[in-house]
Structure 1
Amino acid sequence: MKRILPWLLVLVGLGLLGGGGFAAWREVEFRRGAIETDGRVVQMLARSSRDRDRGSSTTYTPVFTFELPSGKLQRVEGGVASNPPCCRVGDTIRVRYRPEAPDRAQMTGFMESWFVATLLGGMGLVFTLVGAAVMRAVRPGTAGLAQAAGLAQAPPGAPPLTFSVPLAGLRRDGAGRWILQARWADPRGGVQRLFESEPLPFDPVPQMRSMTAVNVSFDPGQPDGPYWMDLSFLREPDPDATVVQRRG
């Protein structure tokens, strides 16, 4: 399910982006052959709806009229309802319509022209970016936090979650031993944490030239809690040496 969720978010986002693009295209096409004229608001239609949490609410939709070149007075209901109302009865407005379909006229302004395209496009962009970020960051075997990697074979008593933490550097202690450093940023708040391995009696760089991250097991809810850095891929320079496991 964790692998399917980001794909669903991306697909929903792309669908919404497509809907926003289609709405924008329709508006552009509508304007190409449209005529603008003055109109007048003649009625405000009030519609009530009831929500279980917020109770009842009322929105208002304008009804306006405008005169066609033939002298006929065309009456049209606006396409957007709002609260508070966008206008009042008697207000003079600008109207845009196509000569072949005056009954589909609309009031000029952002809400009538671009609201749907902007809403769908904005939601689509958010869904797509979130889905792509989750798809890139989340790995199986975690509690679903971003930047989590699969669980390594941590020793008994080690924190249960393992994260692929970017390498931050290498330093040497007073005895000339090597200490590997990795830095993790909590995706929920941006708080950073530096992890260090126990001093290594040999230089690990030759065995890590192609690496950019290391697995670290820890509890993200405990900023100063214990952690375990998995260095099982490292071996002592002596080919007969055993696998190295270092605890932070």
Structure 2
Amino acid sequence: MNILKLIGGIFFVAGLAMLAGSSFSYVSQKDFIASAKHAEGEVIDLLRKVSRDDDGDSITYSAVVRFTDDKSVSHEFVNNVSSNPPGYSKGQDVNLLYAPDNPTNAIIDDFWGRWAMVAILGGMGSIFSLVGGTLFFSQIRNDWIRRWLRANGTAFAVDFLEVERDLSQSMNGRHPYRIVAQGKNPFTGKLEQYLSGAIWVDPTEYMAGRNLRVLVDPNKPSRHMLDTDWLADLLQR
């Protein structure tokens, strides 16, 4: 299983879902603003919110606003945006928008009151889809290159050097292994080192007396791969 492709795919799909949610939120909020009524209100309190995670408690504050609608009825609502430091102070006058048929459905009339959910989902969705898409499609491209090299690449022998841990990757606190080999590239005439892909089981016991080979694109010597298909067959037994 290609872990990087799986992670990239999950991030990419999650990013697209967030972008879809941002688009839906934008349309919904735009309709709300078009039909909403304006009013002036007063911040009567700051609601303290505590969220807990591995780094400790995170405290934010949301404004509690009181206003009177066009029928002279008083209402209160909690602003949908919370922050630390607070975005508003107690006793502060604010402009707001509310739904005529449900005045408690109200927002403070500023950028974050109008577009907070759109901006948050859009920003996170863009990051997730960009990072995940780049990782996912780069792995697809790498898979295609490896298939092409298996079918069309020129093979040459290399010597086994060592098995090393790849600290740049981890899954559940574990780092994969990579086989390191060395040999002269027949197309460049240079002595080069070659790394295998990530291997999640230590292959050291299978390396004694093992003949290794590299597959290289003769038209592009920098495109090559250390062949470890034999190892996959051993591990499946």
Deviations 1:13-69, CA, capped at 9 Å, x for gaps = 21111111111111101011111121111111112333332x223211111111112
In structure 2, C-alpha distance between the alignment counterparts of 1:231 and 1:33, rounded to whole Å: 63
Query: How far is 1:101 from its partner?
Result: 0.9
In structure 2, C-alpha distance between the alignment counterparts of 1:196 and 1:68, rounded to whole Å: 82
In structure 1, C-alpha distance between the alignment counterparts of 2:145 and 2:45, rounded to whole Å: 57
In structure 1, C-alpha distance between the alignment counterparts of 2:77 and 2:123, rounded to whole Å: 29
Matched, 1:131 2:132: yes
Tell me which of the two structures has the higher relative contact order, counting C-alpha pairs closer than 8 angstroms and 6 or more residues apart. Answer: 2
Distance 1:124 1:51, change over 3 A: closer
Matched, 1:122 2:108: no
C-alpha RMSD of the superposition: 3.5
Distance 1:98 1:141, change over 3 A: closer
Matched, 1:230 2:237: no
Deviations 1:181-236, CA, capped at 9 Å, x for gaps = xxxxxxxxxxxxxx99437xxxxxxxxxxxxxxxx97459xxxxxxx7825589xx
Equivalent of residue 31 in structure 2, options 29, 32, 38: 29
Larger radius of gyration: 1
Q: What is aligned with 1:6?
A: 8
Q: What is aligned with 1:56?
A: 57
- Preserved CA contact (<8 Å) 2:67 2:76: yes
- Name which of structure 1's ranges 128-137 and 67-76 shifts more when overlaid on structure 2: 128-137
In structure 1, C-alpha distance between the alignment counterparts of 2:23 and 2:38, rounded to whole Å: 24
Q: What is aligned with 1:174?
A: none
Matched, 1:198 2:199: no
In structure 1, runs of 5+ residues without a counterpart are 161-194, 200-215, 221-227, 235-248
Q: What is aligned with 1:71?
A: 72
- Name which of structure 1's ranges 147-156 and 80-89 shifts more when overlaid on structure 2: 147-156
Distance 1:103 1:141, change over 3 A: closer
Superposition TM-score, scaled by structure 1 size: 0.58
- Greater helix percent: which structure? 2
- Preserved CA contact (<8 Å) 2:66 2:77: yes
Identity %: 25
In structure 2, runs of 5+ residues without a counterpart are 163-184, 197-213, 221-237
Q: What is aligned with 2:229?
A: none
Q: What is aligned with 1:107?
A: 108
Distance 1:196 1:79, change over 3 A: farther
- Greater strand percent: which structure? 2
Q: What is aligned with 1:95?
A: 96
- Preserved CA contact (<8 Å) 2:187 2:218: no
In structure 2, C-alpha distance between the alignment counterparts of 1:80 and 1:48, rounded to whole Å: 14
Distance 1:106 1:218, change over 3 A: same
